[in-house]
Chain A
């Protein structure tokens, strides 16, 4: 204490004195720091609490501080007289300490919020799952070539073979669709579910990460139609990308949906025209950007989940979080690996 406190008072007083321009403020400053009941005065009063040996030093420093502050006061008073009311408005500001959520966290939050507007609830599902939930129950029987598309990682047991249990091999889930049958097995209908989770694929490169995120939507109710799928994706796309953005469904194929679609959105750069200043738009294909896959839940998947396909139907979609994220303008990150290097220069931009 003691000397340190004095030095601190000096520091704080000088800081508080910055930018004081008018006479009244100067007076207030004087009262706060140098007045009879001012902070310096109070601090100096505590000399009584020091030991005898400490007092000389304390007194010396105290006087120095007093001189410094009094000098400052004189300067302030004279500057007030000469530049009364003039503040250097061009002086730069001082930012408060701002923290940063990672772009992916922000995106996940936004996606979750948009779907919660439609009554979708988010639940948690394992990142390491049984083959049954990742493939078999999704209409992909063992040894079916469709599984090759997913470039799956398997978990090793201590003999170096693949861990296998009653529900098949243990895999790192390559898509968030392992949520579908798990959710149906809870036995509650209707279902409006969002699963946002880490997914894993054996791939690598500037546009592919082995660990990334997907968000999956599942809606199961009576009389759900393709028109409803369009309604839901249109809603999301407009909320996330903007009102002017169009969507387009094209035929595709997934084993766990029928019909299956690929969803495009109109390019945010060339606004769907396909051209930018006379040249071809480099980002999109003819004005469209591929967002991800979607479809009507296959009756076999409903059956696997114990849901009667004669009574219920469902829509589903699964899209990459990172992919969706960098499709927004202002976030055109060309090498996706930059996202997770955690360079502060990157993180602090968001």
Chain B
């Protein structure tokens, strides 16, 4: 939570001679992060002016010509304000001064100008134009500051109103509700700047007590650990004095009236939420009790809430007056006619407040503080401070203070101080009394009995400091993390091996990049439409219960739809690309199991001109990395009987082939995934202009058997011969058939055979396709004769052409 802390307010509770920049630095290094040092605005070239004359503007009905005394002289300013009055003190921005036009946007510097033909030297400002939107009442009114200051005309506006001072914006972590107030921050400030903390003198005894009607608290003590109610009369509701309004503005609050302002002031100053009821609207005695199921109540936000028995309320004979610790009711709220109030200062349970707030979706500053966990001891000090302020600024007279729940004797939390442990945890030797000193400065009481030392936790840290390790944190941060040494750990290395799949994942990505492919990397969330477009059953996919939006509702069950979608965005600017994505997909495995997470590879030849060429290249890539990983791939339908002669039919029509893998030369073939031509309907569905070729396989089992390693073959001692042969085949013949025919030739002189080309152009009147193979022929023990070579060629030729 970010807290705005005006420097002067902090310094009411802590003396220090550090400059603002210095103390901001110390706070950030040892306590809470100072996010920014702010001021309320730039008030150079802005002065207090006094209106001398208000004249009609000859060229515009709604505008006036105002003569303003700005100290050194009187200037003419054209102004449209509806509340201009002779003698009034106003906020004048002179040329060069920066204002927000109509209270919006950036600050813009003014220049002397003419408005509808009349000279205007600057501007008479409304609060919004100065960045003080919270003070803007009627939008046509300028800011009449006559009651706020009595300085002479010409005084700098910032000085006159005390707006020039710095405000720290501090990030207070949620475990430190004690530091979400000026008092708490001042305490930290005193420690980190070696300053003097002056907050201990706050009065925490009850100022007065007496009968004024009962307050009964019928609720488990856990839900409400302290409850005080003060009755004050003689109240005159009006605007707060400027110094209070200004502090509230600096703290980010909106000034409303003196009563409400005081409660907000004390909330910010001491971190104690308060609530004021209009006493004349209360009928009978006040009760603090659980709500009855179904009881309704209209809150200050004007909405009506239906309560449950989990909610703690403050009620009178007529019904619910306030939702305890969360929000007051509309009816009993402070109005201009209020003359008597009940002022409540209490401590409500953090868990109950949190549940209640979420149950009704009702939030407030008080609720947010209670949720962090406040201690009952703070209630009295808060009440006393508010009473004093109300006496000062609202004419209030204290009648009585009723105790609803006496602040429970807070459990004394005692933690042993283990000096050696602390030093060990920090990694540096710190003397015992230095450690004691740090703890004492933070409000801990150090008790020594013999060899043992104990720290008594101050009440405001009770929830946060509960174990010796928490003491270590206090000591370490005040010592200064930046002062600790920096040492690499010395110890045994772990015996754990890096996960195999991760090693191969990295390796494969690098291989594919080496082959010239570009890696696509996309978010793993997708939408229902894409899943359906891909023909995948959404019930198999993992769905989010609270997605951000419907575009990101599912974890992707496959990679290729996303690859196609991303290509769609590229295809207007790039004619073709070879891409890959290597990532995990998820599939639902029922309620009792986590989803199945598997690593997949998707290869995509996008904008493929000739599918056949793309297919050859994809196969080439698969073979290239497969070789180096000790696996081999094959494509096509396999019949369950894998004895040798396969492919009953190689299906040309679905544009889809299965991808099979196995460890090189051994083991069973396993299905790895599919290759798919993205054409026709699929192409349209995914908005592609050109055909694409996609391969997607599951890497889990492949990586499980992958093996890096070489298989060195000594170079042949005797030369090899290379011969090309060309055969003509009918157009229905596919490569696999020829490949198998060659494989079935068991001739040990035939070392290798590679397809060089296959030509099926129109030039061939015969309609036949010619296939050229390059044969590598040789022997291990001798140089072959031309005859022997030719024999092999003939054998291959015969083997190929026999039907």
- Chain B residues positioned under 8 Å from A174 (CB to CB): none
B463: min CB distance to chain A, Å: 12
Q: In this complex, what residue of A is CB-closest to B425?
A: A225
Decide if B548 touches A253 in the complex (CB within 8 Å).
no
Decide if A234 touches B548 in the complex (CB within 8 Å).
no
Decide if A122 touches B499 in the complex (CB within 8 Å).
yes
- Chain B residues positioned under 8 Å from A72 (CB to CB): none
Interface string of A90-123 (1 = CB under 8 A from B): 0000000111111011000100100010110111
Decide if B513 touches A162 in the complex (CB within 8 Å).
no
Query: B472, B491, B573, B761 — which one has the most chain A CB atoms within 10 A of its CB?
Result: B491
Decide if B539 touches A253 in the complex (CB within 8 Å).
no
Decide if B594 touches A129 in the complex (CB within 8 Å).
yes
Interface string of A310-338 (1 = CB under 8 A from B): 00010100000000000000000000000
- Chain B residues positioned under 8 Å from A258 (CB to CB): 469-470, 472-473
- CB of B354 within 8 A of chain A? yes
A341: min CB distance to chain B, Å: 7
Interface string of A23-52 (1 = CB under 8 A from B): 000000000000000000000001001010
Decide if B546 touches A153 in the complex (CB within 8 Å).
yes
Decide if B33 touches A250 in the complex (CB within 8 Å).
yes
Query: B31, B371, B494 — which one has the most chain A CB atoms within 10 A of its CB?
Result: B494
Decide if A4 touches B482 in the complex (CB within 8 Å).
no
Query: Given A4-B761, A253-B175 in contact, is the A109-B30 Cβ separation under 8 Å?
Result: no
Q: In this complex, what residue of A is CB-closest to B175?
A: A253
B221: min CB distance to chain A, Å: 21
Decide if A211 touches B546 in the complex (CB within 8 Å).
no
Decide if B757 touches A5 in the complex (CB within 8 Å).
yes
Q: In this complex, what residue of A is CB-closest to B491?
A: A221
Q: Contact partner of A49 among B351, B510, B726, CB < 8 A?
A: B726
- Chain A residues positioned under 8 Å from B425 (CB to CB): 225-226, 296, 313
Decide if A156 touches B543 in the complex (CB within 8 Å).
yes
Q: In this complex, what residue of A is CB-closest to B571?
A: A344
Interface string of B486-500 (1 = CB under 8 A from A): 111101111111110
- Chain A residues positioned under 8 Å from B514 (CB to CB): 99
Q: How far is the CA of A126 from the CA of B547 in the complex (A)?
A: 19
Q: How far is the CA of A141 from the CA of B325 in the complex (A)?
A: 23
Q: How far is the CA of A84 from the CA of B472 in the complex (A)?
A: 81
B773: min CB distance to chain A, Å: 11
Query: Given A204-B548, A210-B523 in contact, is the A225-B597 Cβ separation under 8 Å?
Result: no
- CB of A265 within 8 A of chain B? no
Q: Contact partner of B516 among A53, A97, A156, CB < 8 A?
A: A97
A contact face: mostly helix, strand, loop, or mixed: mixed
- Chain B residues positioned under 8 Å from A143 (CB to CB): 351, 354-355
Decide if B519 touches A101 in the complex (CB within 8 Å).
yes
Q: Contact partner of B173 among A224, A225, A249, A252, CB < 8 A?
A: A252
A64: min CB distance to chain B, Å: 15
Q: Contact partner of B512 among A53, A99, A170, A209, CB < 8 A?
A: A99
Decide if A128 touches B516 in the complex (CB within 8 Å).
no
Q: In this complex, what residue of A is CB-closest to B586?
A: A128
Decide if A158 touches B485 in the complex (CB within 8 Å).
no
- Chain B residues positioned under 8 Å from A128 (CB to CB): 542, 555, 586, 594-595, 597
Query: Given A105-B521, A124-B501 in contact, is the A253-B765 Cβ separation under 8 Å?
Result: no
- CB of A88 within 8 A of chain B? no
Decide if B427 touches A228 in the complex (CB within 8 Å).
yes
- CB of B415 within 8 A of chain A? no
B756-790: which residues lie under 8 A (CB-CB) from chain A? 757, 759, 761, 763-766, 770, 772
- Chain A residues positioned under 8 Å from B488 (CB to CB): 118, 228, 231-232, 235
Decide if B577 touches A344 in the complex (CB within 8 Å).
yes
B788: min CB distance to chain A, Å: 21
Decide if B513 touches A100 in the complex (CB within 8 Å).
yes
Query: Given A49-B726, A121-B496, A342-B521 in contact, is the A230-B546 Cβ separation under 8 Å?
Result: no
Decide if B523 touches A1 in the complex (CB within 8 Å).
no
- Chain B residues positioned under 8 Å from A22 (CB to CB): none
Q: How far is the CA of A164 from the CA of B590 in the complex (A)?
A: 10
Q: In this complex, what residue of B is CB-closest to A347?
A: B518
B558-597: which residues lie under 8 A (CB-CB) from chain A? 566, 569-570, 573-574, 577, 584, 586, 591-595, 597
B493: min CB distance to chain A, Å: 4
Q: How far is the CA of A142 from the CA of B586 in the complex (A)?
A: 26
Q: How far is the CA of A310 from the CA of B58 in the complex (A)?
A: 86
Decide if B516 touches A345 in the complex (CB within 8 Å).
no
Decide if A99 touches B518 in the complex (CB within 8 Å).
yes
- CB of A267 within 8 A of chain B? no
Decide if B487 touches A211 in the complex (CB within 8 Å).
no
Q: How far is the CA of A98 from the CA of B761 in the complex (A)?
A: 33
- Chain B residues positioned under 8 Å from A166 (CB to CB): 592
A202: min CB distance to chain B, Å: 6
B575: min CB distance to chain A, Å: 11
- CB of A157 within 8 A of chain B? yes
- Chain A residues positioned under 8 Å from B486 (CB to CB): 227, 230-231, 234
- Chain A residues positioned under 8 Å from B544 (CB to CB): 153-156, 172
Q: Contact partner of A342 among B174, B502, B520, CB < 8 A?
A: B520
Decide if B469 touches A299 in the complex (CB within 8 Å).
yes
Q: Contact partner of A225 among B372, B427, B494, B595, CB < 8 A?
A: B427
Decide if B467 touches A226 in the complex (CB within 8 Å).
no
Decide if A341 touches B566 in the complex (CB within 8 Å).
yes
Q: How far is the CA of A252 from the CA of B473 in the complex (A)?
A: 10
Q: Contact partner of B570 among A160, A230, A253, A344, CB < 8 A?
A: A344
Decide if A298 touches B489 in the complex (CB within 8 Å).
no
- CB of B451 within 8 A of chain A? no
- CB of B694 within 8 A of chain A? no
- CB of B18 within 8 A of chain A? no
Q: How far is the CA of A223 from the CA of B539 in the complex (A)?
A: 50
Q: Contact partner of B424 among A99, A190, A225, CB < 8 A?
A: A225
Q: In this complex, what residue of B is CB-closest to A286?
A: B25
Q: In this complex, what residue of A is CB-closest to B542?
A: A155
Q: Contact partner of B506 among A109, A119, A248, A296, CB < 8 A?
A: A109
- CB of A198 within 8 A of chain B? yes
Decide if A1 touches B770 in the complex (CB within 8 Å).
yes
A285: min CB distance to chain B, Å: 8
Q: How far is the CA of A116 from the CA of B497 in the complex (A)?
A: 11
- Chain B residues positioned under 8 Å from A145 (CB to CB): 174, 354, 371-372
- CB of B509 within 8 A of chain A? yes
Q: Contact partner of A191 among B174, B494, B764, CB < 8 A?
A: B494
Query: Given A226-B426, A258-B473, A347-B519 in contact, is the A299-B546 Cβ separation under 8 Å?
Result: no
Query: Given A153-B546, A156-B543 in contact, is the A251-B481 Cβ separation under 8 Å?
Result: yes
Decide if B489 touches A224 in the complex (CB within 8 Å).
yes
Interface string of B542-558 (1 = CB under 8 A from A): 11111110001001000
Interface string of A137-157 (1 = CB under 8 A from B): 000000101100100011111
Decide if A57 touches B763 in the complex (CB within 8 Å).
yes
Decide if A163 touches B548 in the complex (CB within 8 Å).
no
Decide if B472 touches A259 in the complex (CB within 8 Å).
yes
- Chain A residues positioned under 8 Å from B546 (CB to CB): 153-154, 202
- Chain A residues positioned under 8 Å from B372 (CB to CB): 145
- CB of A2 within 8 A of chain B? yes
A sample of 25 cross-chain residue pairs with beta-carbon separation below 8 angstroms, ordered by A number, consists of: A1-B772, A2-B770, A3-B761, A46-B726, A99-B517, A121-B497, A122-B498, A128-B595, A143-B351, A145-B372, A154-B546, A155-B543, A192-B494, A192-B496, A211-B524, A225-B425, A234-B486, A251-B481, A253-B176, A258-B472, A296-B469, A299-B467, A342-B566, A342-B570, A344-B577
Given A143-B355, A251-B31, A252-B33, 10 other A-B residues pairs in contact with their CB atoms under 8 A: A54-B764, A124-B501, A128-B597, A143-B354, A145-B174, A154-B544, A155-B542, A251-B477, A340-B522, A341-B566
Interface residues of A (CB under 8 A from B): 1-5, 46, 49, 51, 53-54, 57, 97-102, 104-105, 109, 112, 116, 118-119, 121-124, 126-130, 143, 145-146, 149, 153-158, 160-166, 170, 172, 188, 190-193, 198, 200, 202-204, 209-211, 219, 221-228, 230-232, 234-235, 248-253, 258-262, 285, 296, 298-299, 313, 315, 339-345, 347-348
Top 3 nearest A-B pairs (CB, nearest first) are: A227-B427, A225-B427, A253-B173
